[in-house]
């Protein structure tokens, strides 16, 4: 028998959530108390929304989503980024994740959140689409290249873009697990591969809060990883090339769920989604 209780951001409960995440993902270097505190409790858009499944005094399953603001067809909307999910090995196969997710979305809707967006790997995509009613938007572009990314002369308006301001960007760049670089207002993160930098996104100084670069260590033509979707990039004139599927750890699929009941959907051909918009780096 399980109890489903909304996640609280007290120090003791966050430590218990982190303990479960480390148990389920023992090879991950991501989960530590500083990171979970930053990710769950310090976001200026709001604390995480989610539920734990308790068996006695132990958390055995966990799911949370993180607040964000986005522009959809020119209108600001309050939404969530689907974030961390974990089920203890001894309690898998009992639909705990589905139950936690459904309770999370019900609670989120009652709090005024209008959508959930997320990046799902090959293992989790099926559950989100077929069990939880998400829209499968499509796989993220994953490309390696050198030099600057080129943009089309004729730009189209983005039907979806995550909104950042100086305060939320300051929080995002304070990730305790990562040291970011800003070169000519483009934010870079280190990848797991030596010498490869991840292109996180380009923002003006009103967003980054910086009028000068915070690093000059990046070489003139480092190898760069692009991960995201942007209809205004001119890939034909950029020296970036698709990473073959066999070299990718897992395809990353962008998914979306409307919480308003109005049938809101996103258009793959016009949305903007950058690496900084989710939690991979």
- The full set of domain ranges for the chain reads 3-139+251-277, 141-247
91 vs 212, which has greater pLDDT?
91
Q: Mean pLDDT across the chain, nearest whole number? A: 91
Given a cut of 70, whether residue 249 has pLDDT beyond it is no
Q: By the 8 A CB rule, do 232 and 111 touch? A: no
- C-alpha triplet 235, 237, 239: angle, nearest 5°: 75
Given a cut of 90, whether residue 129 has pLDDT beyond it is yes
Residue 116: its H or E element: strand 115-120
pLDDT at 266: 95
Q: Does domain 3-139+251-277 have CATH number 3.60.70.12?
A: no
**pLDDT tens for each residue of 36-45:** 999 999 999 9
- Name the pLDDT band for 216 (thresholds 50, 70, 90): very low
How many angstroms separate the Cα of 279 from the Cα of each of 34, 35, 81, 82? 15, 11, 9, 10
What is the reported pTM? Answer: 0.92
Cα separation of the two ends of the chain:
37
Tokens 């090879």 sit on residue: 27
Which 8-state DSSP code applies to residue 264?
A: -
What is the C-alpha separation between 109 and 126, in angstroms, rounded?
23
207 vs 197, which has greater pLDDT?
197
Coil, helix or strand for 124? helix
């Amino acid at each position: 028998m399980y109890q489903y209780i909304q996640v609280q951001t007290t120090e003791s409960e966050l430590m218990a959530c982190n303990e479960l995440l480390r148990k389920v993902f023992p090879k991950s270097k991501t989960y530590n108390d500083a990171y979970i505190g930053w990710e769950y409790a310090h976001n200026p858009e709001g604390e995480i929304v989610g539920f734990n499944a308790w068996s006695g005094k132990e958390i055995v399953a966990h799911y949370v989503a993180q607040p964000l603001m986005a522009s959809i067809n020119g209108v600001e909307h309050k939404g969530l980024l689907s974030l961390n999910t974990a089920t203890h090995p001894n309690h898998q196969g009992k639909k705990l994740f589905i139950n936690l997710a459904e309770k999370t979305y019900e609670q989120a809707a009652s709090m005024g959140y209008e959508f959930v967006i997320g990046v799902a790997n090959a293992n989790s995509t099926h559950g989100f689409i077929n069990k939880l009613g998400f829209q499968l938007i499509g796989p993220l572009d994953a490309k390696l290249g050198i030099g600057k990314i080129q943009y089309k002369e004729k730009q189209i308006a983005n039907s979806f873009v995550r909104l950042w301001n100086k305060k939320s960007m300051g929080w995002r760049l304070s990730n305790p697990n990562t040291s970011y670089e800003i070169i000519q207002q483009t934010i870079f993160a280190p990848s797991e591969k030596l010498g490869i930098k991840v292109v996180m996104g380009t923002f003006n100084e009103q967003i980054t809060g910086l009028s000068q670069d915070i690093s000059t260590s990046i070489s003139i033509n480092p190898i760069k990883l692009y991960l995201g979707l942007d209809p205004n990039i001119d890939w034909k004139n950029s020296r970036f090339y698709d990473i073959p599927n066999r070299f990718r750890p897992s395809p990353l699929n962008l998914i979306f769920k409307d919480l308003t009941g109005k049938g809101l959907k996103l258009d793959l051909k016009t949305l903007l989604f950058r690496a900084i918009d989710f939690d991979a780096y």
